[in-house]
């Protein structure tokens, strides 16, 4: 499926826009009419493969002084165009066209189709790759990460996959995150990242904002010392509407982004599991919080939670189509997907595979058990899930690196009161499985 869509994207890229000098006109981009202050343009997306595609996303860049005033036959967000309700699915050989009115005379200077440069490269021509620093740790090997197309990429523009663990709530399991346990994560587990899970409610951030902010910053420092990437997780769960915590989110992310802006290893997850809220509500929240982070840290990757407990809407009876049709108006972002292997099966996997063709995804939380965090460890379903994520190069963090008395925990109860964290003797069934999986070599 992934190879099939990659071929479709390549064909689409050729059909939409190739390298566009200022005055270029192609079979895909046409100036229908022009006048002294603007013009009418048209873009045609053509599927020249032998397989049907189900969505497309065209991003155009214009020189200063030229803007898109209006468009038709597409859903427009700035200069990003996604299908209208009737023209997203294209059979082999089929085409879809959309038009727009430009204020200004500048023609498109670059184009992305489904996140890939229309000349067939994986990054826009305006952002040439740099050489990542040499080193043995994940951060030393990869440097500052960024989103390129639908992938998480390193400083050289190479698509990579990060694998690691999520903390449990810092208010409950703070003693699990000490020098010995974090050394084990970095050197024994050979993990790439630590997700720092800071609950907002449930005796979390709102009870002591300065204390929890300091604890998060401390764990980011600990991850940095070990060359691990750190996800700062604003762990909203109850209530499920992230807008309830909008003021808290702006304050928290203003503080942590200012404090950590110089670091290359920080990723911001701005809302954990939105539930009982529409995608429009989540998008509105994201478009208010992201600028707060960008004011301090313009380069970091930001992850946005999705509807239905970050299920891409599946748990609410929806699909990722609502996101592709109305994406967050920001750059260098990814979308969160969560699953629990014993509860979320083939229909969820099918949606991830479909969504990954056009959306950059990051599995910031998953469990080997049921959605409750407990129950029987389902290694068969977990293996199927992780094989899929590996094929799609989707990064992930497992829930949880803790000794909670639940089957999703990596450590046996009582481990965090002792000195030993390395090896398998202190691990649960889930912990042994995840350690073995994460320890397999990275493809950096």
Catalytic residues: 273, 365
Token pair, residue 114, equals 């489904």
Residues 164/229, Cβ–Cβ less than 8 Å: yes
Token pair, residue 340, equals 């629990």
Sign of CA dihedral 95, 96, 99, 104: negative
Measured CA distances, 326 to 112, 264, 338 (Å) = 17, 30, 20
Question: Which residues have a Cβ under 8 Å from the Cβ of 360 and sit 6 or more positions away?
Answer: 115, 147, 149, 150, 151, 152, 333, 334, 335
- Give yes or no for a cis peptide into 400 (omega within 30° of 0): yes
Cβ-based burial of 2 (10 A; exposed 0-12, middle 13-18, buried ≥19): middle
Count CB-CB contacts under 10 A for residue 215: 18
∠354-84-363 over CA atoms, to 5°? Answer: 30
Residues 355/104, Cβ–Cβ less than 8 Å: no
Name the one residue in this structure whose structure tokens are 């190879």.
3
Instruction: Give backbone dihedrals phi and psi of 339, rounded to 5 degrees, phi first.
Output: -150, 155
∠229-233-235 over CA atoms, to 5°? Answer: 160
- Give yes or no for a cis peptide into 239 (omega within 30° of 0): yes
The bridge status of strand 302-304 relative to strand 333-340 is parallel
CA distance 438 to 163: 6
Closest CA to 185 of 410, 414, 428: 410
């Amino acid at each position: 499926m992934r190879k099939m869509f990659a071929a479709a994207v390549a064909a689409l890229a050729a059909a939409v826009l190739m390298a566009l000098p200022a005055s270029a006109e192609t079979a895909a981009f046409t100036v229908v009419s022009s006048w002294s202050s603007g013009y009418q343009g048209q873009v045609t997306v053509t599927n020249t493969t032998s397989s049907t595609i189900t969505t497309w996303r065209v991003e155009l860049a214009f020189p200063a002084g030229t803007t898109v005033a209006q468009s038709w036959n597409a859903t427009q967000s700035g200069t990003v165009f996604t299908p209208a309700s009737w023209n997203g699915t294209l059979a082999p050989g089929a085409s879809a066209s959309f038009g727009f009115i430009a204020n200004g005379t500048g023609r498109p200077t670059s184009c992305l189709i489904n996140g890939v440069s229309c000349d067939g490269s994986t990054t826009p021509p305006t952002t040439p790759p740099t050489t990542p620093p040499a080193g043995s740790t994940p951060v030393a090997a990869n440097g500052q990460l960024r989103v390129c197309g639908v992938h998480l990429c390193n400083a050289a523009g190479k698509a990579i996959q990060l694998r690691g663990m999520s903390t449990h709530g810092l208010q409950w399991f703070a003693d699990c995150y000490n020098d010995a346990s974090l050394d084990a994560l970095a050197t024994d587990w050979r993990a790439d990242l630590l997700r720092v899970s800071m609950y907002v409610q449930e005796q979390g951030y709102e009870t002591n904002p300065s204390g929890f902010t300091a604890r998060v910053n401390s764990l980011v420092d600990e991850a940095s010392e070990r060359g691990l990437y750190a996800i700062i997780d604003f762990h909203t769960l109850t209530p499920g509407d992230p807008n309830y915590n909008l003021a808290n989110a702006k304050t928290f992310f203003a503080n942590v982004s200012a404090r950590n802006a110089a670091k290359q290893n920080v990723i911001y997850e701005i809302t954990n599991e939105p539930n009982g809220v529409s995608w429009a509500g989540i998008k509105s929240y994201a478009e208010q919080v992201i600028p707060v982070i960008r004011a301090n840290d313009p380069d970091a990757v930001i992850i946005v939670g999705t509807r239905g407990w970050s299920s891409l809407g599946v748990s609410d009876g929806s699909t990722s189509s609502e996101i592709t049709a109305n994406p967050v108006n920001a750059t260098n972002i990814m979308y969160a997907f969560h699953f629990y292997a014993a509860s979320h099966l083939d229909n969820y996997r099918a949606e991830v595979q479909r969504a990954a063709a056009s959306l950059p995804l990051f599995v910031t939380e998953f469990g080997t058990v049921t959605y409750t965090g407990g129950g029987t460890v389902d290694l068969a379903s977990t293996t199927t899930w992780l094989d899929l994520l590996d094929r799609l190069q989707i990064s992930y963090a497992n829930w949880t690196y803790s000794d909670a008395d639940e089957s999703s925990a990596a450590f046996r109860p009582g481990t965090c009161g002792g000195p030993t964290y390395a090896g398998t003797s202190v691990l649960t069934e889930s912990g042994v499985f995840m350690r073995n999986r994460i320890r397999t070599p990275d493809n950096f």
